[in-house]
Structure 1
């Protein structure tokens, strides 16, 4: 795989931003392929957007998981955005990271890199805060994605209890969403978005959520959302297994989700 660390000026955020991109290259596992076959002009790769968790950055998955090997095996591209501690929001008190993520970023990467523009070739996955971002993006922009997966945090922020320690304006949850009243039934409220999508009749991406049973931070909230999805008729696969809120859980489940998505099948 080729690794590109790419910086560009974001018109939405009005600042330089960083992303990482993995792209298929010549693979020693298939030495029989010629350079013309590997670097075929005009080819467009299926793309997995990988969203980092809170306080992480665009390099975190590369440093903590086997994502490069998974992508190499499947010959798909991976895009790693970086959004600080924003919860992938157009923040109540901060920058418009959701607009950047959903509007500007795809335009940039599809024009600069050989990435497919087809809905069936777009996938997204995230962990913790990134799972909130992945599902929010998929629920708000369902025509863009084939499938979305979230690990340890697919839930409403309120159900996860993140509003409980409010009281200080120097609080990332407050900065992202404002007050709990402002959050409810907003474009950041996961349950509101899910119900709205089900009623809309729009195409619904395939959805997968998982969490470790020893994850004291997000297990109950994630399970609650899975039950809510079933109640309203949102097609969501929910799985759980032993594990905590850490990379020992996320790395193998990342592979599980990639296999479930079906993205890891080379053309």
Structure 2
């Protein structure tokens, strides 16, 4: 596996940025044959690609530091792209930085131009945890033409319900600027930021990414995730839901990213 730390100027963000990109390569433990090469490392045809998002306080190095994503992606022959989004909820911020534009318009073009990845929607995926779980579904449902599948772990998926909860509003350590990300957060329900509204919009448009949702039973977002599951099941969504013992932590995310990678490649 080759880990490439890439620096370039982003017009969407108005600054120099850092990307971490894993590209699978034949390893020393593999028998390098033409058959093996064609199956796992067909760079000319383009490898499947996963845009992997971080949570609050995280950055492009979160998955590199705290998980074994490089080994998991290597085993499955998948390119993984990681970029920073601050605590933006992956939105075009009112203060200027356009993270949604960056992730859905600028970044894919750059990656497809520089790295051996597919341009095929059916092999292009997005996933994340916590804030990045919301981000993966938000970007996936906002641009269903780009991603075939979107996966969330411990996701802050019911964004309107979370804002309305006393836990969020009374938390002095809340890292988010709701107004910067969403404008008037009291109007989130039914808005362009609401995942339920985006899902309904995609159904009407006839193009909906497949969804994956995992959460730990000890996670503070567990009940919120159950509500999201129930709403989407009532809408007959193509949803894989999994829960397990665990909290809002890397033990859970490192475990379930492996299951997600297998689901993506089915």
1:183-242 per-residue CA deviation (whole Å, 9 max, x = no partner) reads 333221111111222222x222211101000001x1111111111111222221111110
CA distance in 1, matches of 2:103, 2:208: 19
Q: Of residues 81, 87, 90 in structure 2, which corresponds to 1:88? A: 90
Task: Show the 5 A alignment for 1:206-225.
Answer: 206-216=210-220, 218-225=221-228
**Cα 1:27–1:75, aligned 2, differ >3 Å: closer, same or farther?**
same
**Cα 1:93–1:184, aligned 2, differ >3 Å: closer, same or farther?**
farther
1:93-136 per-residue CA deviation (whole Å, 9 max, x = no partner) reads 44211011101000011101111100111011100000011001
**Structure 1 unaligned spans of 5+:** none
CA distance in 1, matches of 2:126, 2:133: 9
Q: Of residues 243, 246, 249 in structure 2, which corresponds to 1:246? A: 249
1:150 aligns to what SS in structure 2? strand
CA distance in 2, matches of 1:32, 1:135: 38
**Structure 2 unaligned spans of 5+:** none
Are the counterparts in 2 of residues 211 and 222 from structure 1 also a CA contact under 8 Å? yes
Q: Per-residue deviation at 1:70? A: 0.7
Are the counterparts in 2 of residues 166 and 174 from structure 1 also a CA contact under 8 Å? no
Task: Show the 5 A alignment for 1:148-159.
Answer: 148-153=150-155, 155-159=157-161
Are the counterparts in 2 of residues 198 and 234 from structure 1 also a CA contact under 8 Å? no
1:127-162 per-residue CA deviation (whole Å, 9 max, x = no partner) reads 000001100111111121121110001522122347
Superposition TM-score, scaled by structure 2 size: 0.90
Give the aligned length.
260
Superposition TM-score, scaled by structure 1 size: 0.89
Q: Per-residue deviation at 1:40? A: 6.2
Q: Per-residue deviation at 1:25? A: 1.5
Moved more, 155-164 or 68-77: 155-164
CA distance in 2, matches of 1:171, 1:42: 42
**Cα 1:160–1:166, aligned 2, differ >3 Å: closer, same or farther?**
closer
Task: Show the 5 A alignment for 1:62-141.
Answer: 62-141=64-143
Q: Per-residue deviation at 1:29? A: 2.3
Corresponding residue for 1:2?
A: 2
Corresponding residue for 1:51?
A: 53
1:160 aligns to what SS in structure 2? helix
1:109 aligns to what SS in structure 2? helix
2:161 aligns to what SS in structure 1? coil
Q: Per-residue deviation at 1:49? A: 0.9
- Aligned pair 1:185/2:190, yes or no? yes
